[in-house]
Structures are given as structure tokens and as C-alpha cells.
Structure 1
Amino acid sequence: MTTSASTARNDKSRAFRRVGITASAAALLAGAAIPGVAAAEPAGKDRPDLRAMVQEITGSGFAGVQLRVHDRRGDWTGSAGVRKLGETAKPPTNGRFRIGSNTKTFVATVVLQLVGEGKVGLDAPVAGYLPEFGLDRRITVRMLLQHTSGLFDYTGGLLPDGTVVPGIPLQGKEFLDNRYHTYQSEELVRFGLSKPPLFAPGTDWTYTNINYVLAGLLIKKVTGNHYGDELQRRILRPLGLRDTVVPGTRPGIPGPHAHGYYRYEEAGQWKTVDITEQNPSWASSAGELISTTKDLHTFFSALLGGKLLPAPLLAEMRKPHPKGGYGLGLYVQEASCGTVLKGMGGFHGYGTLMASTPDGNRAYELSMTYGDSAADLGQAYFNADKLLTDRVLCGK
């Protein structure tokens, strides 16, 4: 892994910790063995190598895992672990789950489509579109999409002088007591803007959700429609992504799905709570979407295949920042086999990855649900990513 990719990994790990998605936030039924073997489809394409990987990932501390692989041998899906703690049924092989920050890739695609239509300037000041927030006019649309705006994140962060500043309640019992609270996107932005910026616009890189909440508001301002409606019109309906949902304030996950859990400490005791139902409005256009491995594969393949963006804008999307290894809405990493492209996401109870070689010949989509293991799930997440990058994308 390159230095920039490693930096991106560390920044993303810190982002997971801010929303409690690490060892202290969930995992698998403590000490439980994984019953049986991974279910696979279609039945005629058994892949012992992939089944073993699903088992390995699940055994690192996750309650359940869904994996979809596309390579020269065709398409394969499998699952392992449990759908729900205390039960033996495996996760559905194409169940729905919260995709977290993979939402950002969808949102960046819509913004870049608006750029291609001449409705948004990629290097134009965001303040020109959203004057109501009094943003620094040096902050451009590109800076939002690449996390170089310097804006403080409403989920909390570390100021340049080392001061830790908390964000909205996203950890521990305080989060659980507020798990059904509705946040307005404008409210999240104003919270972040009430704190000092992390750095001058364009001078550094830090992964912050506020950038993509602003991007969602920009879409609404330019089109007159909620960003979710534009996603439906421009991406979901044209690609037939019927299992991808913009939940808004709705707490449940519709259709077949695995349960996610949140593990936290209270009065010296560790507790585990089923967190499948929660109001995702705190994530807004930075991370609220629900999808499936099949829909994610269809979307990412279409995006990288040039079906959603003209070639010049897709090229802009794939230019990584030297520090973060982040392009415009996706990670651009150097693996042992060359460049690979990824979306990475975490949400209370859920972790998601979608990744592909630039030509789309090799790809994987992974959903991991957290249970009540005390394992370091932040590290387990990145170990799973490395395992699949090496073996699926690079064919080792």
C-alpha cells in the first residue's frame, strides 16, 4: 500500500472511530464459531477460494458478511456468519445494508453531471451557489468533492492546536438515546461552520462529511430537487437500481437484510444493542444510502465504464489528492497490480466496500455487519480490504 493510501486508511479509520464503528462499536457473537459454509450463487459455480475468504473475513470479528466478486471466471456471491445474533440463518447473499460513505460516490457523480451540463463550475466558489452559509469564497466545488475545503466536520474533529472538539452525539448512550432524532442538513452544516476551520481552503486534506452535506444542498439549489430525487432520476432509475434506497428519516431497512449491532461501554460494563433501526438523517448526503452488493456493482461498473460521466470528468474524478489518495468521490489507490478504485463506508453496525480495477475486469463488493465481538473492527475492516484487493483485484 502506498503512503497516500495508508494516510487515507488512517484518516478513514479515525472517521469510523468518530461514529463508534470500531471494536467498541460492534461485531460478531462473542466467541461463536461460524456455522456451516458460505452460501453461494449460482449453484453451478462453486468457488472454494472465495468461500474461504468469506469465512476468514467473518472470523475476524464480524457478525455477518456478504461478498460479491466479478473476475475472469464470472460472477459469484456468498455470505457467512449470521443474519441476526442468536439465530443460525446466514445473511442473505443480496440483502440490503447501510452503505455509509459509498453514498459520496453517488453524490459526486451527480455533481459532476451538473458540471458537464454547464450548471455548476467545478472550480467555482461554493458560496456562489449557497450564499446563505457565508462560506469562505476560496472554497470551490472541487474542494468539497475532494475533502480539501478545510471545514470542520459536524461529527467532531481535532483542531490544529491539538484540541479535540466533539460533534453531534454519535457515540455511547448519548447516541442511543438520540438514535431517532431528525437532523436537517442545514443544521449539520451550521454546526460545522460554528467551529474554526481546520486549514485554509485547498492547502491540506482531511476527510469530512460536511463537504458532502454541502454537495447535497448544492444539488438541491441548482436543480430545485432534493439530492435523492436527482439520484433517482439520473442514476437509480436509468441503471435499474431498485434495491438502492434514499431513506431520509425512515429508521428501518426495507426488504431482506442482516442486522447490525452497536457495542458500547457504560458504567464499566460493555453492552450490545441492535442498531439496525436508526434515523440516518445525521449522515444525510454524506452517507445515508441503503443498497445491495448487486446494485453497488452495477453502479460502479457503469461509472467506471463511462456510462454516467463524459471521459474528461471521469478523468478528473480519478485524480487522487497526494495526501489522501482521494479523487472526487472515490479512493484511488496503488496496489501491487497497479491502480485500483474504491468506495469505502462505515455506519453504526455496518461496514461496506466496493472496489474495481480501472477496466472493470475485476471487482468486489463487500458488506460486513457488526455484532458483539471485542475485536478491533476498524483494523479488521482494512484487513478485509487488503485481502480482497490482493486476491480478487490483483489475482494473487
Structure 2
Amino acid sequence: MRRYLAAAVLAAVVLGTAAPAVAAVQPLQKQLDHLTTRDGLPGAVLSVREPDGTVRTLTSGTAERGTGRPMVGADARFRIASVTKPVIAAAVLDLVRQGRIELDAPVEKYAPGLLDGRPITVRQLLDHTSGLPEYVDHVDPSGPLNDRVFLRAALDADPVGPGWSYANTNYLVAGMLIEKVTGKGFRTYTRQTVLRSLDDTYWPRQDETGIRGEHAHTYGVDPLNPQSQGKKVVDTTRQPGYLFGASGGLISTPEDLNRFWQSLPASTLKTMSASTVPAADPPGARQGLGPAVVRLSCGPVWMHGGGLPGVRSLSGRDRAGRAVTLYVTGVPKDEKRLFGVFDAAMCAR
């Protein structure tokens, strides 16, 4: 379970010297095809949404091994994993805008006793500087599994830091904070606010392991499947998504994610990146409140990545409003190449 619950923040690579931008569809398609041929990934989807609403989607590979079924498009659903975090951050910042939360106030101002009296601020949750350890490293997978158990495991462990230390625990607490302030669970509150115009995005129900509607199958090392024995790649399409919660539980589509990035008010984006902190993944990134600010070959972008067994995604937008979402099924052999496709799509002009 701990491997299932752990979601990647960004590709663990650095672009290094600026890569040349891709200027036409065909070279970008070739790069996407490289992922499903030489790298052996079953499927890949890349969707680009311009500020004027123009959408360009490229696909490669198959939606299900052994069937010949073409890879699904930008309107098909997938588990977005840690790309959930910018959504939760946007909801918290909406409450900040309303004056119901202060970024530099202690979390316990709004939820007394939640953090055992620790003076952790709301801002420190959103930029991963709280010192809270990763709860998935301390949860007993044989015992009860719910948000309260996860938080207790983190609070009973030694803190980390100082400085940036990525942990799903921060957004576990952010989800609890939303509930304390609004009286609504984070799933309900986000559906009514930052997700209200995204019809194909949803939170899985408790005990729901499938994906609704059209979707691709995913293939990875399933830590809960005895057939995998910790090594064998198996079909990982069915997963306990409800348990991933505020740190990584959303199911969405590339089109909806791109619309989400473009729907963020300029004031929210400004707040997200007004006071960033150095982050180690990828080297050179700066962690904002939710997304990281990462410098691509054409300049900085707001972005986040996500990963679960069998699926890997990168999603974000640039200052001009171009939004890009890339996801692949399977286990990437070269994270740098995956990041390069994202860079090429974001920077093509």
C-alpha cells in the first residue's frame, strides 16, 4: 500500500542546457512515438490547449495491450496522481482570497489539535516546508487505512527538514483544513468551486477501484498483486483511488487538466509563485504553493507531475496561457525523454 500511496511530484531529471523547441507537429509526433516504440511504453497522450481554446492532441501506442485498440485521446480519463495537489492548493487559495484562511497563520488556528500543537502554517503545507514526514513511509499496511490513521502515523514519526521536503502528508492535512474551514469535505468543496466546470473530472467513491468511462489500461509493478512479486509488470488499471485522497486521488482527462490551468485567475497564479523555495526534484525547480516553477527551454512554467504504478503524467501552463498535459502508461525507461516531450510541446511556436 505504501508504494501505491506514494505519488511522484515531478520528473526526477534536469533538462540541463536548453533543448531546441519543436516547431511542427510531425517532429513532436515522432518524439511521442519514440516513447511507445523504443521505450516500449504501451500508450502516450499529449494534449496542448492554446489561450484561445484551440486544442491539439497527439496519441501513440495502444489503449490496451493485445487488442490493437488505438490509444485514447484527450477526453479519456486517467489517474492524475499528484497533479491533484495544484487543485487542492487552488481551493485553499480561494479560501485565502475570501478571507477565511490566512497563509501565514498556523493550521491549528482553524483546526485546533489537528497537528498536536505544532506551529505549522498553511503556507508551509502548500510549499512542503512543514517538516511533516511522508506518511506512506510509516503506515502499517495491514491495519486500518484512512486519513486519520495516515496523519497519526506521520505525527508519531520524526519530523524532517529544515527546508523543502516533499510529502503527501502536507496535502492530506490541506484537505482536512478545507473541511474544518468550510464544513464540507475537500471532495465536495472542490467540486463546487475549482472543479465546477470540469465535467469529466471526479473523485472516486470509497471502494471504487475502476475508472469510469473511456480510459486506457495501465501497466506497472503492482505492490499489492501477488502475481507481480515486486518485479513483474501487470495490469494496474484497478487501484484503490479513494485512499489517495487530497494528495493524489483525482481522476481527470488531459483536456480538463488543461482547462483547469487556464481557469486559474492571474491573482492565484501570482500567489502560487510569489514566494517559491528551492526544490530538489527536478534540480533547479522552485516549489510554489501547489505547482512548482520549472524553467523549460523557452522559459518558466507552472507545472506538476504525478505517478502511480503504471501511469506517469506532467501537466502545467506557461505565462502566455498555453497549457500542456502529457501522460503515458507503463514504466518510463528515460524520464529525461518524457520531460523533453513536455518541453517541446510547451515551447513549440
**Fold match (TM-score > 0.5):** yes
1:68–1:269 Cα change, 3 Å: closer
Corresponding residue for residue 212 of structure 2: 254
**Distance in 2, Cα, partners of 1:189 & 1:18:** 13
2:167 corresponds, among 179, 183, 208, to: 208
Corresponding residue for residue 368 of structure 1: 328
**Distance in 2, Cα, partners of 1:19 & 1:119:** 30
Residues 188 and 282, structure 1, Cα contact 8 Å, conserved in 2: no
Give % identity: 33
**Distance in 2, Cα, partners of 1:291 & 1:384:** 20
Corresponding residue for residue 236 of structure 2: 275
Amino acid at match of 1:392: A
1:386 corresponds, among 311, 324, 340, to: 340
Residues 80 and 251, structure 2, Cα contact 8 Å, conserved in 1: yes
Corresponding residue for residue 154 of structure 2: 192
1:17 Cα offset (Å): 9.8
Corresponding residue for residue 134 of structure 2: 153
Residues 363 and 392, structure 1, Cα contact 8 Å, conserved in 2: no
1:264–1:292 Cα change, 3 Å: closer
- Give CA deviations for 1:183-223 in whole Å, capped at 9, x if unaligned: 32111111111111013xxx311110000010000001110
256-265 or 293-302: bigger deviation: 256-265
1:168 Cα offset (Å): 4.8
1:264 Cα offset (Å): 5.9
**Distance in 1, Cα, partners of 2:160 & 2:174:** 19
**Distance in 2, Cα, partners of 1:207 & 1:133:** 20
1:387 Cα offset (Å): 3.0
Provide structure 1 residue ranges, at least 5 long, that are not aligned to the other structure.
Answer: 1-14, 22-45, 157-165, 170-177, 372-376
**Distance in 2, Cα, partners of 1:348 & 1:269:** 11
Please give the root-mean-square deviation of Cα atoms over the aligned residues, in Å. Answer: 2.7
1:83 corresponds, among 34, 50, 63, to: 63
118-127 or 362-371: bigger deviation: 362-371
**Distance in 2, Cα, partners of 1:187 & 1:118:** 30
**Distance in 2, Cα, partners of 1:326 & 1:281:** 26
Amino acid at match of 1:388: F
Corresponding residue for residue 144 of structure 1: 125
1:154–1:394 Cα change, 3 Å: same
1:386–1:182 Cα change, 3 Å: farther
1:18 Cα offset (Å): 8.0
2:44 corresponds, among 48, 56, 65, to: 65
Amino acid at match of 1:365: T
Superposed counterparts of 1:303-322, under 5 Å: 303=264, 305-306=265-266, 311=267, 313-319=268-274, 320-322=276-278
1:16 Cα offset (Å): 8.1
Residues 182 and 279, structure 1, Cα contact 8 Å, conserved in 2: no
1:327–1:91 Cα change, 3 Å: same
Amino acid at match of 1:262: G
Residues 7 and 307, structure 2, Cα contact 8 Å, conserved in 1: no
Corresponding residue for residue 359 of structure 1: 320
1:343 Cα offset (Å): 1.7
* SS across alignment from 1:212: helix
1:231–1:55 Cα change, 3 Å: same
Corresponding residue for residue 84 of structure 2: 103
2:102 corresponds, among 97, 104, 121, to: 121
- Give CA deviations for 1:221-256 in whole Å, capped at 9, x if unaligned: 11011101111110222x2x1110111422110000
Amino acid at match of 2:166: Y
Residues 352 and 365, structure 1, Cα contact 8 Å, conserved in 2: yes
Residues 144 and 212, structure 1, Cα contact 8 Å, conserved in 2: yes
TM-score (norm 1): 0.74
1:133 Cα offset (Å): 2.9
| Number of positions where the alignment pairs a residue of Structure 1 with one of Structure 2 | 320
1:348 Cα offset (Å): 2.1
1:369–1:138 Cα change, 3 Å: same
Corresponding residue for residue 21 of structure 2: none
**Distance in 2, Cα, partners of 1:338 & 1:259:** 34
Corresponding residue for residue 40 of structure 1: none
**Distance in 2, Cα, partners of 1:52 & 1:277:** 30
**Distance in 2, Cα, partners of 1:297 & 1:264:** 29
2:33 corresponds, among 55, 70, 83, to: 55
**Distance in 2, Cα, partners of 1:242 & 1:182:** 32
